[in-house]
Chain A
Amino acid sequence: MVSPRNVPPFADSETRKRNFEEVNKGFDAETAVSEASRCLQCKNPRCRQGCPVGVNIPAFVNEIKNRNFEKAREIITADNNLPSICGRVCPQETQCESQCVLSRLGSVAIGALERFAGDYVLGGKSVALPEKLGLKAAVVGAGPAGLSAAADLLKYGFDVTVYEAFHIAGGVLSYGIPEFRLPKRIVRAEIDSLKAMGAEIVTNAVIGKSYTLDDLKDKFDYIFLGTGAGLPVFMNIPGEGLNGVSSANEFLTRVNLMKAMLPDSITPVQRGKNVVVVGAGNVAMDAARTAMRLGADKVTVVYRRSRDEMPARKEEIEHAEEEGIRFMLLTSPVEVLGKDKVEGLKVIKMRLTEPDEKNRRRPVPIENSEFEIECDQVIMALGTSPNPILKRSAPDLETDAKGVIKVDENGLTSVDRVYAGGDAATGAATVILAMSAGKRAAAAIYAAATKK
């Protein structure tokens, strides 16, 4: 008989909704061992197939069971450079854990175990690097794709320089995902370990402005572009220019990167009392929960489809609900109301059509069903389109009509020696997919370099 799945402790919802402490407290060693002991060590581990980077899950879980925590971490990092981060933000419920043979009884808590192993030696121990290849690689963008590519390139023996436009490395891990879901000390530890491996990280460097792609091609043997997501999407409805309307990117960056939640922060942020967040992805949940933590009385998520279609992780939706976030589903904004600043939102009720051939149900407005809701802040969390800066300085770099960089299965772009991965090459996706793209490109770069 398999024991029930262990659940890590969570901070009390009434307390946590007003602070930025991490919500999920993670397993202690005893719980981790107990949870690891639930694993049946399948001969044909489907969990591993569910992992975008193919981590040897049964092996690392077994090491946790045997209390070889450092060894468990090493097994993970053979395939995944950022275990503490992925253990926290990966959608395990749709990846590894969804494939677990125990899923009907409660899958093994692979994510929580990965996090435990990752945190056991935060940032990891120094790894022995091979002899230098005498080749130089540039990584553009220090987010999940770039950090992962950089770590692997170092392990292959390249000299690696990482260029980051912001003043702090980490990309979305630093500016996007809030402290209460991913403490910044975890991100810093991963970046510090990359530096310890020998990566040179150049912050305040905008590639496409200071250096063009051609400049980099002159200076480096290989280039990996992990420039991430770009311009926020707005709805193109009247009133979006009003003060009090911002993108989730702006709102979250002010808080996460610029620390605007601190009382003495010099960076301003709007602290609405009655906040509407439009959209229902993870970023929308992050924005809604952040607005609550900044002191809102009421936070409402407005989403045009129904609960089943909400793209956010189930856990994030549940945590948001526990913290008092309300959901107004099958509703879509048509106009932001107000004179100079936001005073309300006019919305319309939606219904879903019958499933089409792709089994998708489209939301369509219900005629004459408009109504108004009061609010003093509107945050648009509708996704992003690729950043145009690099492309504008590199006309040879082929992109699709939206500006997403075209790559082959190895991440190679239309430009010789230039690879790309992550949101810049896929459109908005997850941290783990970006990481795996970085890994794949690093492997392809190494293969190309050693073939010559």
Chain B
Amino acid sequence: MYKIVRKKQLAENVNEYVIEAPLAALRAEPGQFVILRVDSEGERVPFTIADYDPDKGTVTILVQTVGATTELLSRLDAGDSVADFVGPLGNPTDLTKYDKVLLVGGGIGGAVIHPQAKLLNKIGKPADVVLGARTKSLLLYMDEMSRYAARLYPMTDDGSYGEKGFVTDAVAQLIKEHAYDAVLAVGPLPMMQAVAEVTRPAAIKTIVSMNSVMVDGTGMCGCCRVTVGGERKYACVDGPEFDGHLINFKEARMRQGFYREQEKEHYCRIRGEIKNG
């Protein structure tokens, strides 16, 4: 069992969990993910590592309540435990070799760029950061990012905070004004695809994080396969982060919906249980 040390609500339906998992924390690096099961009947669901502390043996994840497993997680509090927690999985992405990096986080994607922002700040190459969300209350890690970023550009769809518009609007403007060596964009697939299209004409190295459907996360089941530059890659062992200019986003968007109907049905059943019980 893996104990939840701390739980904090960051926005509506978004919780941050700090989980005691020494084996996962030991060698965690930015860009990697974990897989957890809530209970002994649970499914295996991947979550990107939002922060880690090898000394304390903890890993931080951000969970947006969108389905059955995340609904069950949302009912757990500090002091409770999850049945299984395995990681770090996938490959880290090393942005420290670049001098000037632009980090772009959409919605929950802020969790993934957070450890990168922290690390780049620590080594004295703070990144520019664009954070986007539908509305102000959904902007995640604003305090942390304002500490770590060289410049922070919050964007909201409704203009309730920062600039009104999409993250792509900010990215299009920023790449005109600054010379970036690399862009890391993390968020929903349409957002990452849009960012990759904005940076493509300028040929700026653009990395995106694929949150594919997975079972084992160790290169066994093959359901996380993505096509990158015409080649089949596995998000779990070859990724999860890939060159955004080479990803077949059309296929990736289709594959993300593979089990959507069954997942929806199960989510509804679980929600139904709340009403009944």
Contacts and interface: CB of A to CB of B under 8 A. Distances in A.
Interface in B28-44: 37, 41-44
Nearest to B253: A340
Interface in B239-277: 248, 251, 254-255, 257-259, 262-263, 266, 269
Interface stretch (A89-97, A228-236, A344-352): A228-236
B216 A204 contact: no
B216 A165 contact: yes
B27 interface: yes
B257 A231 contact: no
Contact of A230 (B220, B223, B227, B254): B220
B162 interface: no
B41 A250 contact: no
A265 B69 CA distance: 11
B220 A253 contact: yes
Nearest to A202: B23
A234 B259 CA distance: 20
Contacts of A232: 220-222
B126 interface: no
Interface string A265-295: 1111110000000000000000000000000
Question: What's the dominant secondary structure at chain A's contact region?
Answer: loop
A264 B215 CA distance: 18
Contact of B23 (A166, A204, A259): A204
Contacts of B251: 241
Contact of B222 (A231, A259, A266): A231
A224 B42 CA distance: 30
B88 interface: yes
A209 B221 contact: no
Contacts of A249: 220-222
Nearest to B24: A210
Nearest to B42: A266
A304 interface: no
A167 interface: yes
B227 A241 contact: yes
Given A167-B84, A254-B215, A268-B263, A210 B26 contact: yes
B219 A389 contact: yes
Contacts of B166: none
A250 B254 contact: no
A50 interface: no
Given A266-B42, A266-B43, A268-B259, A210 B83 contact: no
Contacts of B225: 234, 241
A243 B86 CA distance: 27
B37 A243 contact: no
Contacts of B215: 250, 253-254, 258, 267
B254 A253 contact: no
A51 to B, nearest CB: 29
A209 B263 contact: no
A243 B252 CA distance: 10
A247 interface: yes
Interface string B1-32: 00000000000000000000001101100000
B69 A266 contact: yes
A268 B89 CA distance: 22
Contact of B37 (A167, A212, A229): A167
Interface string A2-38: 0000000000000000000000000000000000000
Nearest to B227: A241
A259 B215 CA distance: 12
B222 A243 contact: no
Interface in B97-151: none
B228 to A, nearest CB: 12
A170 to B, nearest CB: 13
B218 to A, nearest CB: 5
Interface string A384-411: 1001110000000000000000000000
A233 to B, nearest CB: 9
Contact of B266 (A229, A258, A266, A384): A266
Given A243-B254, A268-B262, A165 B218 contact: yes
Given A209-B87, A231-B237, A266-B41, 6 more contacts: A204-B85, A241-B254, A242-B254, A258-B215, A259-B41, A387-B219
25 contacts: A165-B218, A167-B86, A204-B84, A204-B86, A206-B218, A210-B87, A231-B220, A231-B237, A234-B225, A234-B232, A241-B227, A242-B254, A243-B257, A247-B223, A250-B221, A250-B223, A253-B215, A254-B215, A265-B43, A266-B41, A267-B215, A268-B263, A384-B220, A387-B218, A387-B219
